[in-house]
A = this chain, B = another copy of it.
Amino acid sequence: MQATELLFEIEIKPPLKGSRQSANAVYVQLKNAILDGRLTLGAKLPPTRSASHFFGISRNTAGDVYEKLEHEGFIFTRHGSGSYVAHALPLLSSPPARLDPPVSGQHRVNPFWMRTDVTTAMNFWRDSVGSPAPPRKTPPTDFRPVLVDSALFPFDLFRRVSATQLRGLQKRPSSHRSLEGNQGNHSLRTAVSRHIAVTRAIVCQADDIIVTSGAQQAFDLLARVLVIPNETVVAFEDPGYPPMRVNFAAAGAKLVPVGVDAEGLMVEQLPKDVGIICVTPSHQFPLGITMSLRRRKALIEYARTHGAIIIEDDYDGEFRYDAGPLEAMRSAEAADVVFYVGTFSKCMLPALRLGFIVAPDWLMRTLITAKNCLDWHCSTPVQRTVAGFIANGHLSRHVRKMRAVYKQRRNTIFELLRGDLRTWLDEIPSLYGMHVAVTAPESVDLEAATAALLRHNVRMHTLRRYFFGPETRRGLILGYGSADPTQIHRGLSLLRKVLQR
C-alpha cells in the first residue's frame, strides 16, 4: 500500500498488534512529522481509510484528526483528490496551537480565530506576553513602527475642511445605493489619483481606485476576492507584516514565506504555483530595504509567466529622503498585474481608517461587489473631509513638512548608530519612511535588551515577531514616527547602557 509506505518512510511506526492508538497520539505523530520536515510541504497524506487501518483507529477518528490538522493549518484538502501538507501555514515562527474555544452550550465557532498564531499576529502592537508593564511615571518613548507623530498634524485645518464638507453632505447625503458611490467618494478618488501621480508617479483615473477602511481592509478585500480556499498560494516577504498574513490565512490561502536580501524579495525563491505575491518594494517592512529595479522587473516577469498577481503595499512611499520619489511598481506597463495599496494612516492619521487600492480594471467590479458585502462603503463624512484636505493642498504641505521632520529623526538615528552602538548593531540602509532596522549577531540578547528597555517605558520591537519562516535575521526596529530627536537620544542611550551589561 502506497499510503502506508509513505508513513514508514518518514518513520511513523504502525502500532503494535492489538494495541490501539488514541486520536491524540496519531495527531501528535503527524503534527511532529510536519513540523520537523519529515512530511514535506505539499506531500500527499494517506486517505483516512488507509490511515485508520494503519493506526488502528476508526475511520471517523482518522477524519477527526485530519480535520484538526486542517483547522490548525497544517494540512489542506483538495476536492476529490485528498489531503496534503500545507505549503507553510503558521503565521509566525511559533507552531500554531489552539486556544480553548469559547463555550456556550453546544454552539461551535470557527476555530480559525482561536489559533494562537492568529491571535498573536492580531496582537501585533502589544508588548510580548510576560513583559513587565512599563512604569506610568516615566514619559513613554515609542520606537514601534507604523506610528505617526500626530502632534504635528494640522488639526485646525482638518476641522475647517470637515465643517465645510459636512455642509456639503447636508446637500447630498445619499448612501449605499449606487455601485459608483460604494467604490468611494468620487472627489476623494479624484484627489487620490492626483496625489499619487505626484508623490508616486502613478498614472491612473478615479475609476481605477476603490476606497477602503485603511490598508487592513484593502488586504482583506483582496484576500476574499483573489483567494480560492485551499488552493491559492500566497507568497509573503519574510520577515513581513504579520496582520496582513491573517487576512490571507482567513480566506483559506496557503502561505509561503520568501526571503529578502539587499535587493528585496528573492524572486528565485517564489514557488512555481504562486498565485499572489505580496511585497513592500519602496521600503521593505520591516527591514527598510528598497527593492532594486532589476528585482522589480524580474518579479513582474515572474508574475506574468506564472499567472500570478502582485500586491504592492506602499505604506510610507510618500516619505523618501535622499532623492526624488522613486516610481511605484504599479507603473502603466504593470497596471494589469499589480494591485497598489495606499493608506492615509501614515501621511495623515491612523485613526481615520482610510486607505485605497489602485486595481486593474478587470477586477474592479468584482471588488466593488465584495466591498458592498463587507460594509457597503467607508464613512462618507471622513471620505469627504480627506478629499477636501487633499484638494486644498493641505496633504502635500503636510507631507512636505513631515518629510523634513522624519528625515531629521532618521539622520539622528543613523548618527547614533554610527557611534558606540556599532559595537553591537549593524544598520540596514533606508531611503524611505518612518523606521529603520538594525541587525545584531547571535551573541547579543535582543529580547532581554528590549525587555529591559520596557522597564524604562521605552518600547522597541525585535525582528522576531515579524518572521513566520525560519528566523534568518536577528535585529531591532527603530520606528521614528512617534519618537522625536530628544526621545531618540534618550532611547538609544538607554539601549547602549543595556547592551553594555
Contacts and interface: CB of A to CB of B under 8 A. Distances in A.
Interface of A: 48, 59, 62-63, 66-67, 70, 77, 79-81, 102-111, 113-114, 118-119, 122-123, 125-126, 150, 153, 155, 158-159, 162-163, 166-167, 169-170, 173-179, 212-214, 216-217, 220, 224-229, 232, 243, 246-247, 250-252, 275, 304, 306-309, 336-337, 345, 349-354, 360, 362-363, 365-366, 369-370, 372-382, 385
A167 B160 CA distance: 11
Contact of A173 (B153, B246, B378): B153
A175 B107 contact: no
A408 B232 CA distance: 55
27 contacts: A63-B79, A67-B79, A102-B365, A106-B306, A107-B307, A108-B228, A108-B307, A110-B226, A110-B227, A113-B224, A113-B366, A113-B370, A114-B366, A119-B369, A125-B177, A153-B173, A162-B163, A169-B351, A175-B353, A216-B376, A220-B373, A246-B373, A250-B373, A351-B380, A353-B379, A381-B382, A382-B382
A483 to B, nearest CB: 15
Contacts of A155: 166-167, 169-170
B150 A158 contact: no
A204 B163 CA distance: 34
Nearest to A212: B375
A313 B173 CA distance: 24
7 tightest A-B contacts by CB? A106-B307, A63-B80, A351-B380, A175-B350, A150-B173, A213-B375, A217-B375
B80 A59 contact: yes
Contact of A369 (B118, B173, B175): B118
Contacts of A226: 107, 109-110
Contacts of A227: 110
Identify the interface centre among A102, A162, A163, A351: most chain B CB within 10 Å of its CB: A351
